[in-house]
Structure formats: structure tokens, C-alpha cells
Structure 1
Amino acid sequence: MAERLRVAAILSGRGSNMAALLYASRLRDCPYELCLVASNKPEAAGLSLAKAEGIETWALSHKGIAKADFEAALTATLEAAETDYVALCGFMRVLSPEFVERWSGRIVNIHPSLLPKYKGLDTHARAIDAGDPVAGCSVHLVTPELDDGPVLGQIEVAILPSDTPDTLAARVLHAEHQLYPAALSAYVARHLDADWLLEQVRDLALELPEAEEAPSHGSPAFKTKKGKFFAHFSDRHHGEERIALLVKTSGEDEMSALIGAEPDLYHRPAYYGASGWIGLRLDRKDTDWDHVASWLQSSWRRTASKSLTKLLDAADEF
């Protein structure tokens, strides 16, 4: 099984969604573990549960200190716990844009509405008052704008004629406990999903002038129109355990130097290495997609015609 990603939960109260994440993490195939439960309220019930379950906890009251100081202390604690992702579980404070940007793409939240409907508070009353047939919950990435990040998953919950905000909230909470672990698991493990990795590569490769996708030996690959292949997508081919992008180097010296310097990132691909291709591993939790884009462009330049490279050179000048 792949190394589990380390998730820190941040809460202000009972932590029922934290508990859902915690107990889901005990399943054998869960891709994450809870490494920390943190709170702005030292008396929060969720902290007591986490301690009882053997999870590291941290608490600091936000009262009487500047937000920047609270978030600096929280950041230091998250980093000390080697946190990969942050999950908000009823954290009743608005995070600063600086904190959110620090964890951009790695901080998630669960919200009790079907976003983009009913951002903010009183979501159940607003859904009932609007006459909606369904309410629900959403897991989304956190961005500086409140409840506005990309949605990772949703569950609908029927609104009954007799519902009050409290009765509806109780049923939506059941849905939250199902949705949050599932959506978080899928998101943090996306770096092991070949389809997701290929989509990222495809988006970058097809940005290059006259690039097109075409199969090569039964695998996805990218070439210039009426030209040569400049990238191959390798999904554990030829007995490899890795999902990788094969790109063109200048030759044996460059390939050997790269592999020698970073053997966990680069490798000599079976059947391709003799032709100057190197494998760039993609199935890593910290894949640098700017680095991947740079390699795609470099490999494209090695295989494209001079007339095409002049187009890219002209574009780079702007």
C-alpha cells in the first residue's frame, strides 16, 4: 500500500466530521491518516475525542491575540506535524487570505448546502424558505473567498414538508459524515489515479504549438502535427511500478546525471532509454507540475521543426 497522506483536522466544537474522518482512516484502504487535531477552543469536545483515540492535539484560544499571531502558531504546528492536507471540521473562524494561500490546493472544507447555493450561515433555513425540494452538503477546496472554492463532491438530502432547520440539519449531518471521508480520500489520492495524471499531462502538452495526442504502442502520447513524438505517458508499462512521463533528453550524459542526482524522480525507461528518453515520475504526492510543463516544452523543442520552435520563441518574447 502507498504511503498514507497526513491530514490535520481543525475544529471549534464537537468535531463530528473530524470523527467521521478519523474512523474512516482506520479502514485498510484509506489513503490518509489523521496526524493532528487542532482547535481555537481548548475546551472543544472534539479535542477530547481525538486524545482518547491517540491523535496528537493542539489548542490555542484566538481571544486576545492577533489573527496573524494565531495563524502563525497554527502554521508552525501543522508544519511540525508534517501535514500534507488540512481539513476544516467546523472551524468557526474566517482564515486570512495569507493562510489560505499558504495551503492552496491542500485545504478542504465541508459546507451544509449544495454549493454554490447558500454560502455562509443559516443554510437549512434558507433552503426551506426558498421552497427547495432538496438540501445537502458539499466538500470543496478552500479559497480566500468564503465557500467559493471548487466543489469536490456533494450529496443531496430531501426536504420534508414537516422539516424545520433543526430536523433538516440532523439528516444533512448524516450525509456529511458519508461524504467527507469519501471526497477527501479521492482528492488526496488523485496522484495515484492514472486518468487524473493523464488529464494534467494532456492539458499541458496540448498547450504547445500544433501539438496533438496520438497513441504510441497502445499508450497515450503526444506529437507535433506531421512530426515526431515528444512525450509518452507510461502507466506502469513493461513491468514498471511507476506512472511516468517519458520525455526527450540531450543524450546519455544528461540522462545519467539526472538519474544520479534524483533517482526517486527520474529513471531509465525500458525500451526507450537507449533512444535518449527519460522517465519523469508523476505518481508522487508533491509532483511539481511547473517542472513537468518545463520538461514537455524542452522535449517538444527537441522534436519539433524549426518553423514551430520559432513560433514558440516569438510567443515567449511577449
Structure 2
Amino acid sequence: MAEKARIAILISGRGSNMGALIYAAKSDDCPYEIMLVASNDPDAAGLKLAKAENIPTFAEPHKGRSREEHDQIMHEAVVDAGADYIVLAGYMRILSDSFVRKWAERMLNIHPSLLPKYKGLNTYQRAIDAGDSHSGCSVHLVTPELDDGPVLAQTEVAILPDDTADSLAERILIAEHQLYPDSLSRYVTREADPEWILAQVRQHALELDETHERASFGSPGWRVGSEKTGKYFAYFTHRLHGEAGIGLLVKTTGLDEQSALLEADPELYYLPKFYGKSGWIAVRLDTGRTDWDHIADWLAKSWRMVAPKKLVKLQQIADEF
């Protein structure tokens, strides 16, 4: 089994969602482990549960400290615990922009509404007052704007005719306890998902000038130039020509560079079956540790090899500015 993602959970109270995450992590096939439960309230009930489950805890009161100062203390505690991700589970603090930036795309939250509806507080009553047939919960990435990050998953919960805010909250909490561990598991293993990997490659490839996508032998490929005369500079490979792995095929300067790459890092590079004799190299994308800046650099380098000279010169001038 692949190395598990390391999670820090931030709480302010009883930590019921924290408990759901802790118990899910006890499964042998769970892709994450809990490294720390931290709170801005030393008396938070959830800390007692975490300690009973032998999970390291940390608490630092926020009173008397600036938001940035307290956030930095929490950040250092999470880093010291060796966590890769932060999961907010009833953490009743508005986070500073600097803290959010440090954990961009690595911090998740759960919110008791079907976002983008009803951001903020009093979500249950607001849904009832609006006459909605359903409310629910959403797991989203944390961004500087409150409850505004990309939604990863949602569960709808029917609103009954005699519901109060409290009765609706009880059922939504059940949904939260199921949705949060599942969403976290899928998020931390996303780099093993071929569709997610392809989406990242596609985004980087199409950022290059005069680039379009065209399938080749049933796999996505990217060309620079017109639809008629464009030349391929990259291919996505997932079981392409019988290969088992997921990778990106890009052009090298020739067989010498190809050989040097294979010798220098055989875990990252491999020889593609169909294109290898033409000097192409395959960069593995299924290690779970993909350096996407490195992939973007490879795409740009391969693009320059086949792009019209005039277009390359224009790109070089733009890069200087």
C-alpha cells in the first residue's frame, strides 16, 4: 500500500467530525493517518477524545494574540507534527490570508449547507426559511474568502415539513460524518486518479500559445499550430500501446538526452514502447509525488521543439517581461 497522507485536524469544540475521521483512519485501507489534533481552546472536548485514542494534541488559546500570531503558532505545530494536510472540523476561527496561502490546496473544511448556498452561520434555519426541499453539507478547499473554495463533494439531506433548525442539524451531522472521511480519502489519493492527472496535464498544456488537443491512437495529445499543420509535442499515456503506467510523453533533443534521463532517474523516466525510437521520453505521473512545475517545464520545452520559430521568438520576448 502507498504511503499514507499525514493529517492534522483543527477543532474548537466537541470534534464530532474529528471523531469520524479518527475512526475511519483505523481501517487498514484508509489512505490517511491522523498526526495531530490541535485547538484554539485547551478545554475543547475533542482533545480528550483524541488523547484517549493516542493521537498527539496541541492547544493554544487565541485570546490576547493577533490573528496572524496565533495562526503562525498553529502552523508551526502542524508542521512539527509532520502533517501534509490540514482538515478543519469545527474550527471556529477566521483564518488569516497568510495561513491559508501556506496551506493552499492542502486544507479542507466541511460546511453545513449545499454551497454556494448559505455561506457563514445559521445555515439550517436559512434553508428552512427559504422553503428549500433539501439542505445538506459540502466539503471544500479553504481559500481566503469564507466558505468560497472549490467544492469537492456534497450530500443532500431532505428537509421535512416539521423540521426545526436543531432536527435538521442532527441529520446533516450524520451526513457529514460519512462525507468527510470519504472526501478526504479521495482527495489525498487524487494523484492516483487518471482523470485528475489528465486534467492537470491538460491545463498546463493548453496554457501554451496556439496549442490544441487532438486524440492520437485513442489517447489525448497536444499540438502547436493550426488544426491542419499543427505538430504534436506531448501525449498522455494511460495503458497506451499496452503500457501499464500513467505518464506524459514529451520530446527530447535526441537519443543521447533520452539515455541520460533514463540512467539518471529510472523511477521517473521510462522508454515509451511506440515512440521511444524517435527520441521521446515518458515521465511517470502515477508516483503520487508529481512535481507539476517540472511537468510544466517539460511541456514548454517540448512545445518549443516543434513550435514555429516566429512563435518561439514571441514567447521568448514575452518571457523576458
TM-score, normalized by length of structure 1?
0.90
Taking the aligned partners of 1:29 and 1:105, their CA distance within structure 2 comes to 23
Cα deviation 1:29-78 (Å, max 9, x = unaligned):
32222221111112212112112222222122222333333222221221
Q: Secondary structure at the match of 1:215?
A: strand
> Within the alignment, does 1:304 sit opposite 2:304 as a pair?
no
Aligned twin of 2:26: 26
| Matching of residues 140-179 of structure 1 within 5 Å | 140-179=140-179
Residues in 2 aligned to 1:242 and 1:35: alpha-carbon distance in whole angstroms: 31
In structure 1, the partner of 2:251 is: 248
Q: Secondary structure at the match of 1:14?
A: coil
* 1:260 shift after superposition: 4.9
Q: 1:41-120 counterparts in 2 under 5 A?
A: 41-120=41-120
- Look up the match of 1:122: 122
* Equivalent residues of 1:41, 1:61 under 8 A apart: yes
CA distance, structure 2, for counterparts of residue 210 and residue 126 of structure 1: 48
Q: 2:292 aligns with which of 272, 285, 289?
A: 289
- Partner amino acid, structure 1, of 2:251: K
Which amino acid in 1 is paired with 2:61?
A: S
Separation in 1, partners of 2:89, 2:62: 17
User: For 1:222, what is the secondary structure of its paired residue?
Assistant: strand
Distance 1:126 1:218, change over 3 A: closer
Matches within 5 A, 1:139-218: 139-218=139-218
How big is the alpha-carbon RMSD for the aligned residues of Structure 1 and Structure 2? 2.3
- CA-CA distance at 1:120 after TM superposition: 0.9
Q: 1:135 to 1:208 in 2, by over 3 A?
A: same
277-286 vs 76-85, which moves further: 277-286
Counterpart residue identity of residue 4, structure 1: K
Structure 1 stretch displaced more, 47-56 or 104-113: 47-56
The separation in 1 between residues aligned to 2:209 and 2:236, in whole angstroms, is 19
Residue 247 of structure 1 deviates from its aligned partner by 1.0
Name which of structure 1's ranges 288-297 and 103-112 shifts more when overlaid on structure 2.
Answer: 288-297
Name the CA shift for 1:209/1:67 in 2 (closer, same or farther; >3 Å): closer
Q: 2:231 is matched with which residue?
A: 228
| Structure 2 residue identity aligned to 1:131 | G
Give deviations 1:214-258, integer Å, cap 9, x for gaps: 333443322334243211212255676642211111134433444
Contact 1:209–1:311, Cα closer than 8 Å, also in 2: no
**Counterpart residue number, 1:132:** 132
The worse-fitting range, judged by mean Cα deviation, of 5-14 and 225-234 is 225-234
- 2: distance between equivalents of 1:317 and 1:65? 44
Question: What's the counterpart of residue 7 of structure 1?
Answer: 7
Matched residues, percent identical? 60
Distance, in Å, in 1 between the alignment partners of 2:246 and 2:21 is 28
Q: Distance in 1 between matches of 2:262 and 2:276?
A: 12
Deviations 1:158-217 (A, max 9, x none): 112211111111111011111111211222211100111112212222333443333334
Rounded to whole Å, the distance in 2 between the matches of 1:194 and 1:142 is 24
Higher mean Cα deviation, 157-166 or 101-110? Answer: 157-166
* One-letter identity of the residue aligned with 2:269: Y
Q: How much does 1:284 deviate? A: 4.1
- Larger CA deviation: 234-243 vs 100-109: 234-243
SS in 1 for 2:42: coil
> Corresponding residue for 1:17?
17
Greater alpha carbon shift after TM alignment, 230-239 vs 245-254: 230-239
Taking a change above 3 Å as real, the CA distance of residues 85 and 236 of structure 1, as seen in their structure-2 partners, is farther
Distance 1:256 1:65 in 2: 57
